[in-house]
Chains A and B, each alone.
Chain A
Amino acid sequence: MTPDIFDPAKYRADFPVRAETVYGKPLIYFDNAATTQKPLPVIDTISRFYSRENANIHRGVFCLSEKATQAYESARIKVQRFLNARSTREIIFTRGTTEAINIVASAFSKVFLKAGDEILITHLEHHSNIVPWQMAAEASGAVLRVAPINEAGEVILSEFARLLTPKTRIAALAHVSNALGTINPVQEMIRLAHEKNIPVLVDGAQAVSHMKVDLQELDCEFYTFSAHKMFGPTGTGVLYGKEAWLEKMPPVQGGGDMIRSVTFEKTTYNELPYKFEAGTPHIVGVIALGTAVDYLQRVGLERIATYEQELLTYATKALSAIPGLRIIGQAKEKAAVISFVLGAAHAHDIGTILDREGIAIRAGHHCAMPVMDFFKVPATARASFAFYNSKAEVDVLAAALRKVQEIFR
């Protein structure tokens, strides 16, 4: 039997953007934590739907609408199986991770939170998993608590456990940090919260396309992610919630699909999952998310995770060898993200110089200003990888960073 060697070139062929050049150089795309590129099947799904299948879903009595409804609902089944959720009633389509978190935070502020209660997050969170909870705290009088991190960029587990108090009503935490790549020990953190009967929301935006996620194993109450960070379109995402919790939560928006009957005196809400899907959704976005799920499963998440770890090790070594380069965030468990600063060169200058070499990286605070504050840097440069990236591309990055150094010596 031949060993399974993961060849990124084989999958690159699926991504039309691979042929693009930037300033005459081949595009090297290292901004996957911001959004991933789209494979041909996803692009084809969108194009085919708008060319031949477009109709609004639910309630249509004509053929095209029935087909569109079926495609939309079959995407829900795909997502349910992908995450190993118990039922499609637990899969709610949203505009993205941010909206998904906002739905939960808003419902909590209306129903489950009162003055003096506590919400626990971690220092690693993206602004999208901070601000909705701040708003919920403000509306309800609850208090936001933050579990601290250590110098490696890992949540201090003993502190996290200590901050789970009898007043904690929910813990919200990132599966993977977008700014540093830290993989939180979510399984353990969920267990700790459950010991005290505290529900947990996991922000999985940076996790779902890089590792296998099994919701029965994790057992969290809520899990959120965006389609566009997993090779699907923007404007679409998922809120997974345990049915018992979703039943207790009030809908956030009114109108369209979330309604069963309306009189001027009283409106009856639709059943799950439609209760949370007000208005005509991003139909083709959801259908194409289903295609992205199929695609990811064909490539295989275990294989992706193994290859990306190999690429991370390679890139960490290559970048560490550059004098003056400091990697920010050196957690033991890390996804394929490298955040760094380089001597006197500001992240924005690094970004501009790399861009002229055809390399797309992100420079800035990565919507995680508290993380930047912790490491006392105004910004970092961040290279984030996907399975279509190669070691040869990492070599080009390392060479380009030496040019940055030359300019800023």
Chain B
Amino acid sequence: MDELRELYQEVILDHNKKPRNFHALPEPARKSEGYNPLCGDRLTIYLHVKGDVIADVAFQGSGCAIFKASASMMTSALKGKTLMDAQVLFERFHRVVSGQGTAEELETLGSLRAFAGVSEFPARVKCATLAWHTLKAGLENKQTAISTE
């Protein structure tokens, strides 16, 4: 039960219940789509980039708690960040949820530290990273839908 509490932390359950930035952005925002065929998680990320700054980012979609909380907290964390910051955060987040992160990296994640518990649940790493992969594709302007398979 301890590992489950570690996974389903209050902050994650809260973001699952009340996702932030959970809406579409009007044109000319970029759109990118992500899908996890394993459990049916599906989302659209809307991105508004000004120069090299993420001016606004939002999402819509449905899926499990880990997925939804991750998308919600990612959008909260990235608003106003530079593209370079976003890239660095993505790499650190990815290492932490897959159990490869260092203690220092964990420290710099801020509220995203809540996802460290995911590393004990290998089957759920994809749920935590789907929004991030989809965002990355949006930033790189890839047209095809991102799948975790």
**Chain A interface (Cβ < 8 Å from any Cβ of B):** 344-349, 352-353, 356, 363-365, 372, 378-379, 403, 407-408
6 tightest A-B CB contacts, nearest first: A346-B64, A348-B64, A348-B39, A378-B40, A379-B40, A349-B65
Contacts A356-B1, A356-B4, A408-B13; A349 near B66 (Cβ below 8 A): yes
Q: Are A352 and B39 in contact (CB under 8 A)?
A: no
Q: Are B42 and A407 in contact (CB under 8 A)?
A: no
Shortest beta-carbon distance, A367 to chain B, in Å?
A: 10
- Residues on A with C-beta less than 8 A from B38 are 348, 364
- Residues on A with C-beta less than 8 A from B124 are 348, 352
- Residues on B with C-beta less than 8 A from A353 are 4, 8
B2 — nearest CB in chain A belongs to which residue? A356
Q: Are A407 and B4 in contact (CB under 8 A)?
A: yes
Cα–Cα distance between A44 and B8 once the two chains are bound (Å): 43
Cα–Cα distance between A344 and B62 once the two chains are bound (Å): 11
Q: How many residues on B have C-beta within 8 angstroms of the other chain's C-beta atoms? A: 23
- Residues on B with C-beta less than 8 A from A378 are 40-42, 62-63
**Chain B interface (Cβ < 8 Å from any Cβ of A):** 1, 3-4, 7-8, 13, 16-17, 38-42, 62-67, 121, 123-124, 127
Shortest beta-carbon distance, B64 to chain A, in Å?
A: 4
Cα–Cα distance between A183 and B1 once the two chains are bound (Å): 37
Cα–Cα distance between A290 and B62 once the two chains are bound (Å): 45
Cα–Cα distance between A349 and B121 once the two chains are bound (Å): 11
Q: Are A346 and B39 in contact (CB under 8 A)?
A: yes
Q: Are B40 and A356 in contact (CB under 8 A)?
A: no
Shortest beta-carbon distance, B27 to chain A, in Å?
A: 27
B40's partner among A344, A349, A365, A407 (CB-CB below 8 A) is: A365
Q: Are B39 and A363 in contact (CB under 8 A)?
A: yes
Q: Are A379 and B4 in contact (CB under 8 A)?
A: no
- Residues on B with C-beta less than 8 A from A347 are 39, 64
Residue from the set A352, A372, A407 with the largest chain B CB neighbour count within 10 Å: A352
Shortest beta-carbon distance, A100 to chain B, in Å?
A: 24
A350 — nearest CB in chain B belongs to which residue? B64
A372 — nearest CB in chain B belongs to which residue? B40
Q: Are A407 and B8 in contact (CB under 8 A)?
A: yes
Q: Are B13 and A407 in contact (CB under 8 A)?
A: yes
Q: Are B65 and A364 in contact (CB under 8 A)?
A: no
- Residues on A with C-beta less than 8 A from B4 are 352-353, 356, 407
Q: Are B3 and A356 in contact (CB under 8 A)?
A: yes
A23 — nearest CB in chain B belongs to which residue? B3
Cα–Cα distance between A378 and B67 once the two chains are bound (Å): 13
Q: A348-B127, A352-B123, A353-B4 are in contact. List 11 more A-B contacts (CB 8 A).
A: A344-B16, A344-B17, A345-B65, A346-B39, A348-B63, A349-B66, A352-B4, A352-B7, A356-B4, A364-B38, A407-B8
Cα–Cα distance between A350 and B13 once the two chains are bound (Å): 14
- Can you pick out 28 interface pairs between chain A and chain B where the beta carbons lie within 8 Å of each other? A345-B65, A346-B64, A346-B65, A346-B67, A347-B64, A348-B41, A348-B63, A348-B64, A348-B67, A349-B8, A349-B64, A349-B65, A352-B7, A352-B121, A363-B39, A364-B38, A364-B39, A364-B40, A365-B40, A372-B40, A378-B41, A378-B62, A403-B1, A407-B8, A407-B13, A408-B8, A408-B13, A408-B65
